[in-house]
Amino acid sequence: MKIEENYSLEKHNTFHLPVKTRWFMEYSSEEELCNILRDEYFQESHSLHIGGGSNLLFITDFNGIILHSAIRGISVCEETEESMVIRAGAAELWDNVVCYAVENGWGGIENLSYIPGETGGAAIQNIGAYGVEIKDCIEKIETYNQLTREKQIFSREACEYGYRYSYFKNEHHDPHIVTYVYLRLTKKPRFALDYGHLATRLQDYPEITLSTVRDAVIRIRKEKLPKPEVLGNAGSFFTNPVISREQFEKIRNSYPQIPSYPAGDARVKVPAGWLIEQCGFKGKTHGPVGIYEKQALVIVNLGNATGDEIALVAKSIRMAVSEQFGIDLVSEVKYVG
Q: Which residues are catalytic?
A: 164, 236, 332
Beta strands in 168-306 (DSSP E): 176-186, 232-236, 242-244, 261-262, 267-269, 285-286, 289-291, 298-301
* Binding segment toward ligand EPU, per CB under 6 A, in 23-31, 98-106, 172-180, 232-240: 232-240
Q: Which is nearer to ligand EPU, 235 or 290 (CB)?
A: 235
- Judged by beta carbon, residue 268 or residue 297, the one nearer ligand EPU is 297
In the chain, the largest separation of any two C-alpha atoms, in whole Å, equals 60
Region of residue 149 (left: phi > 0; alpha: psi -120 to 50; beta: else): left
User: Residue 261 Cβ, how far from ligand EPU at the closest point, in Å?
Assistant: 8
The least CB distance from residue 135 to ligand EPU, in Å, is: 14
Q: Which residues contact 297 (CB under 8 A, 6 or more apart)?
A: 236, 237, 238, 271, 272, 273, 276
- Report the Cα–Cα distance between both ends of the chain, in Å, rounded: 26
Region of 147-155, 207-215, 271-279, 303-311 interacting with ligand EPU (CB under 6 A) = 271-279
**Residue 130 or 325: which CB sits closer to ligand EPU?**
130
CA angle 4–7–10, rounded 5-degree value: 135
Q: Is the dihedral of CA 105, 110, 116, 122 positive or negative?
A: negative
By CB under 6 A, is residue 129 in contact with ligand EPU?
yes
Q: Confirm or reject binding of residue 239 to ligand EPU (CB under 6 A).
A: yes
Q: What is the size of the binding site for ligand EPU (CB under 6 A)? A: 19
State which residue, 162 or 196, has the beta carbon closest to ligand EPU: 196
CB nearer to ligand EPU: give 175 or 283. 283
Question: Does position 295 bind ligand EPU by CB under 6 A?
Answer: yes
DSSP 8-state assignment for residue 240? P
Contact assessment for residue 238 and residue 313, using Cβ atoms and an 8 Å cutoff: no
Kindly state whether residue 73 participates in binding ligand EPU, applying the rule CB under 6 A: no
Alpha carbons 109 and 102: distance in angstroms, whole number: 8
Q: Binding to ligand EPU by residue 277, rule CB under 6 A?
A: yes
- Pairing mode of beta strands 62-69, 128-129: unpaired
Interface mask toward ligand EPU for 171-200; x: CB under 6 A:
------------------------xx----
The only residue of 235, 241, 290, 307 in contact with ligand EPU, by rule CB under 6 A:
235
Does 130 sit near ligand EPU (CB under 6 A)? yes
Is 289 an interacting residue with respect to ligand EPU (CB under 6 A)?
no
How far apart are alpha carbons 204 and 200 in whole angstroms? 8
Pairing of strands 83-89, 176-186: antiparallel
Report the residue from 274, 306, 313, 325 that binds ligand EPU according to the rule CB under 6 A. 274
Assess 296 for contact with ligand EPU (CB under 6 A).
Answer: yes
320 counts as binding ligand EPU under rule CB under 6 A: no
Residue 32: CB minimum distance to ligand EPU, A: 31
Secondary element (H or E) of residue 76: strand 74-79
CA-based Rg of the chain, rounded to a whole angstrom? 20
Residues lying near ligand EPU in the complex (CB under 6 A): 129-130, 195-196, 224, 235-236, 239-240, 259, 271, 273-274, 277, 282, 295-297, 332
